[in-house]
């Protein structure tokens, strides 16, 4: 998996102060996406032990509420195995921290997919606390919407 950035003390991508992992790879290609640079899964930095330790160092801080996976799309096919492994490790090491995940897929799409990849995505859903689902839709963009870019997107607590 590749990533573009690890944001620290973020207040815009979930409840409380958070660490955010911005992964590479997205197949939704939403019009006016704010993160077009993250679409290509081959661009960015290789996610390695150093990057993981950087995230864990942030999660050690009492004032950090949790982690948010964003991008790109954490549920992009090539990201799913690594996101699942990392989310499971975070859940084990930091059980009091919450895990948010932004995806262009809707929860209904994810639940209907019974492929091998679909089943892995469901395992990710079992590990996270909050799913923000749905593609960004330019005609439904809302600058005042909390934690979403457009009003069609949903904030779903405990998706599975």
Q: Convert the pLDDT of each residue in 20-47 to its tens digit.
A: 999 999 999 888 888 888 999 999 999 9
| pLDDT above 90 for 149 | no
pLDDT above 70: percentage of residues in the chain = 100
Please state, as a whole number, how many other Cβ atoms lie within 10 Å of the Cβ of residue 5: 16
Mean pLDDT of all residues in 7-29: 96
Q: Looking up tokens 């904030």, which residue turns up? A: 155
Question: Residue 10's pLDDT is what?
Answer: 96
2-157 to CATH, choices 3.20.20.70, 3.40.50.300, 3.40.50.1000, 3.40.50.720: 3.20.20.70
Handedness of CA 73, 50, 127, 15 (dihedral sign): negative
What torsion, rounded to 10 degrees, do the Cα atoms 137, 153, 127, 66 define?
90
Q: Which of 18-27, 122-131, 134-143 has the lowest mean pLDDT?
A: 134-143
Rg (CA), the chain: 14
Whole-prediction pTM value? 0.95
Could you tell me where the beta strands, DSSP code E, fall in 24-153?
Answer: 45-46, 66-71, 98-102, 130-133
DSSP-assigned letter for residue 70: E
* Every domain of the chain and the residues it spans: 2-157
Q: Looking up tokens 């290609």, which residue turns up? A: 29
Q: Which of 52-66, 107-121, 144-158 has the lowest mean pLDDT?
A: 144-158
Closest CA to 8 of 80, 72, 60: 60
Most confident stretch, 19-23, 140-144, 156-160: 19-23
């Amino acid at each position: 998996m590749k990533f573009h950035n690890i944001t620290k003390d973020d207040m815009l991508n979930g409840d409380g102060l958070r660490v955010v992992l911005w992964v590479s790879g997205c197949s939704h290609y939403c019009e006016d996406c704010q993160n077009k640079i993250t679409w290509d899964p081959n661009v960015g930095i290789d996610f390695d032990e150093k990057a993981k330790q950087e995230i864990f160092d942030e999660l050690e801080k009492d004032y950090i509420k949790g982690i948010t996976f964003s991008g790109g799309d954490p549920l992009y096919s090539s990201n799913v195995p690594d996101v699942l492994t990392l989310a499971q490790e975070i859940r084990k090491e930091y059980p009091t921290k919450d895990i948010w995940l932004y995806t262009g897929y809707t929860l209904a799409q994810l639940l209907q997919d019974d492929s091998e990849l679909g089943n892995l995505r469901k395992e990710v859903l079992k590990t996270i606390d909050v799913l923000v689902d749905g593609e960004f839709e330019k005609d439904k963009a809302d600058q005042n919407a909390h934690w979403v870019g457009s009003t069609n997107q949903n904030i779903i607590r405990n998706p599975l």
